[in-house]
């Protein structure tokens, strides 16, 4: 592997110091291994500039899980696999700790890697029958109230069939990858990331039976925003992986399906998902 792009989150990697070190290490390790023609562009993930993935074989993302999500969205459709170097807290997506970076770089350079394909979600906001917002998510599509303490009302249907109405702080619609993110905090089920399904988890729902529901990866989940029961509408919005947001109005419908896109994640650890989960949750 000769063409490795480095995307570093300058909020976590001040002055891109770790990114610069990793670039130097790649050049040094390639020279030691007799690999010539190394190309290692270093970019700030916080910049709004387009990311040119032409000819790139892998992208190192320096930051945390949120940085990997941002990189996945900005490189969607490229097919270039991502590997996260963790400067965050949990690191389910950002597997490599800085102390293990040299070992990881050696394996990248020699293609001693495994690549997992993760399903993504596509969410579309319909207003008066017209699409006004569309987003993709590797983790989740979250519909939630904003600002005040009143509950938002939601009507749920699946494949055109009515399921239920309820009021809650919000709803999380997640992929298996996103099951260990906000979904986990809200009491949703943990799912192996290579599964293909859609999980819906209410957030602080005003229900006696406040449970997650798991659907097929081929299902279409539609969430309609119900009128407020109070004197004023409840401010409600939708977010896609937390980095794309849109305000919602009463009567809007958010339809969520599996996306035609996938995110390719580079894995180096020989541990299975359960072993990784056990380490992260200790």
Domain boundaries of the chain, sorted by first residue: 4-112, 120-260
Full-model pTM: 0.90
Q: pLDDT class for 274, splitting at 50, 70, 90?
A: low
Give catalytic status of residue 194 as yes or no.
no
Q: Check: CATH 3.40.50.10330 for 4-112?
A: yes
- What is the predicted pLDDT for the residue at 277? 65
- What is the predicted pLDDT for the residue at 273? 63
Of the two residues 279 and 224, the one the predictor is more confident about is: 224
Q: Which class for 233: exposed (0-12), middle (13-18), buried (19 or more C-beta within 10 A)?
A: middle
Summarised one tens digit per residue, pLDDT across range 132-162 is: 999 999 999 999 988 676 788 999 999 999 9
List Cβ neighbours of 49 (8 Å cut-off, separation of 6 or more).
Answer: 43
Summarised one tens digit per residue, pLDDT across range 62-116 is: 999 999 999 999 999 999 999 999 987 766 788 888 888 999 999 999 999 999 9
Please tell me the distance from the alpha carbon of residue 163 to that of residue 67, in angstroms, as a whole number: 35
- What is the predicted pLDDT for the residue at 121? 97
User: Encoding tokens for residue 203?
Assistant: 């957030």
Summarised one tens digit per residue, pLDDT across range 102-111 is: 999 999 999 9
Query: Quick one: angle between helices 101-109 and 17-32, nearest 10?
Result: 50
β-sheet bridge partners, residue 39: 3
Annotated catalytic residue within 13, 47, 52, 65: 65
- What is the predicted pLDDT for the residue at 50? 82
Token pair 């089920």 in the structure block, residue: 189
For the domain bounded by 120-260, which CATH number is listed? 2.60.200.30
- What is the predicted pLDDT for the residue at 270? 62
- What is the predicted pLDDT for the residue at 280? 59
């Amino acid at each position: 592997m000769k063409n490795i792009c480095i995307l570093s989150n300058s909020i976590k990697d001040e002055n891109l110091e770790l990114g610069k070190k990793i670039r130097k290490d790649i050049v040094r390790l390639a020279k030691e291994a007799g690999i010539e023609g190394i190309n290692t562009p270093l970019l700030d993930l916080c910049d709004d500039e387009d990311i040119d993935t032409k000819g790139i074989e892998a992208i190192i993302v320096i930051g945390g899980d949120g940085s990997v999500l941002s990189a996945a969205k900005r490189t969607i459709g490229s097919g270039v696999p991502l590997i996260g170097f963790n400067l965050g807290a949990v690191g389910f997506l950002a597997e490599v700790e800085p102390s293990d970076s040299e070992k990881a770089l050696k394996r990248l350079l020699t293609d001693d890697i495994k690549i997992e394909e993760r399903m993504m979600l596509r969410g579309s906001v319909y207003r008066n029958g017209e699409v006004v917002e569309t987003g993709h998510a590797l983790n989740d599509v979250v519909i939630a109230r904003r600002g005040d303490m009143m509950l938002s009302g939601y009507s749920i249907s699946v494949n055109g069939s009515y399921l239920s109405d309820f009021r809650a702080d919000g709803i999380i619609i997640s992929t298996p990858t996103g099951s260990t993110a906000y979904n986990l905090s809200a009491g949703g089920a943990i799912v192996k990331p290579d599964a293909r399904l859609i999980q819906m988890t209410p957030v602080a729902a005003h229900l006696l039976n406040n449970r997650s529901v798991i659907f097929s990866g081929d299902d279409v989940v539609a969430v309609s925003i119900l009128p407020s029961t109070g004197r004023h509408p409840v401010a409600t919005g939708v977010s896609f992986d937390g980095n794309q947001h849109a305000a919602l109005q009463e009567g809007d419908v958010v339809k969520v399906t599996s996306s035609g896109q996938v995110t390719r994640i580079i894995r180096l650890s020989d541990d299975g998902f359960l072993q990784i989960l056990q380490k992260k949750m200790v």
